[in-house]
Amino acid sequence: MSKPATPALAVQDPAQRPGAIGDGIRRFRKARGWSLKTLGERSDIPVSTLSKVENGAMSLKIEKLLAVCQALEIDIMELVSPQDPAEPVPQVTGRRCVTRRDEAPLTETENTVYEHHAHEFARRRMSPNVIVVQPGREPELLRHRGEEFIFVLDGRVEVLTEFYVPTVLETGDSIYIDSTMAHNVRALDDRPARILNIATVAKVEASPRRD
């Protein structure tokens, strides 16, 4: 299989431009009446860093971005959702969402690119994403309530968990885990890997790095 290409980020949709994540953080922070200092204290991220992120001057590692989402008590996808954070979500049945090729909003961190599917739903029970994982990273292990399914679309990855030895997955392999067990994924072979990740939506917190 050919080497995966990292999704292009130079797109016209406002939700996909590099500053969209910072805009989302500012939007939810202000909706809660928080200052940058308050968010910094709750997420354990320096105020200077948060200010740069909100202004589109820098991006965060996924572990730090998840810490911000935990502090704000939101799903990462809500950062690029056009919905007003104060707007109530109607209780409806029969919901559906079709995401066309090249129309999924993107979230770029230092080492990953998230392609968000079912992006029209601001609050969901599942969070489906296609993720490009860059090589050469030593990820922190994460834990959150719920369960998670990982399917390797291209490349090879190593799944790290706190209770098992590292598991190598080839293209076409998958793993289903209890997400309360600390876990993360890293790319192998000095090349990007592309995975499908479906997780139940829940708060996320970082655990200590593996030795």
Take residue 19 and report the two structure tokens written for it: 């500053």
CATH 2.60.120.10 occupies which residues in the chain?
125-206
User: Distance between CA atoms of 209 and 41, rounded to whole angstroms?
Assistant: 21
Give me the pLDDT at residue 41, please: 93
Amino acid identity at 71: A
Between residues 90 and 153, which one has the greater pLDDT? 153
Give me the pLDDT at residue 105, please: 85
Residue 74: closest CA among 38, 103, 32: 32
Least confident span in 99-103, 119-123, 201-205:
201-205
pLDDT digits (tens, 9 = 90+) for 35-78: 999 999 999 999 999 999 998 888 887 778 888 988 888 877 67
User: Distance between CA atoms of 22 and 28, rounded to whole angstroms?
Assistant: 10
Spell out the alpha helix ranges (H) of the chain.
Answer: 20-31, 36-43, 47-54, 62-72
Take residue 12 and report the two structure tokens written for it: 């016209």
Q: What is the pTM of this model?
A: 0.63
Take residue 58 and report the two structure tokens written for it: 């820098």
Strands of 157-161's sheet, edge to edge?
167-169, 157-161, 183-187, 142-144, 204-206
CATH 1.10.260.40 occupies which residues in the chain?
14-80
Take residue 49 and report the two structure tokens written for it: 């860093």
Q: Give the pLDDT band of residue 21 (cuts 50, 70, 90).
A: confident
Between residues 34 and 5, which one has the greater pLDDT? 34
Take residue 73 and report the two structure tokens written for it: 């008590």
Q: Give the pLDDT band of residue 90 (cuts 50, 70, 90).
A: low
In the numeric block, the tokens 């090249």 are attached to 102
Architecture of domain 125-206: Sandwich (2.60)
Topology of the domain covering 14-80: 434 Repressor (Amino-terminal Domain) (1.10.260)
Query: With contact defined as beta carbons under 8 Å apart, do 72 and 29 qualify?
Result: yes
Give me the pLDDT at residue 14, please: 35
Give me the pLDDT at residue 85, please: 47
pLDDT digits (tens, 9 = 90+) for 140-196: 888 777 899 999 999 999 999 999 999 999 999 999 999 889 999 999 999 999 999
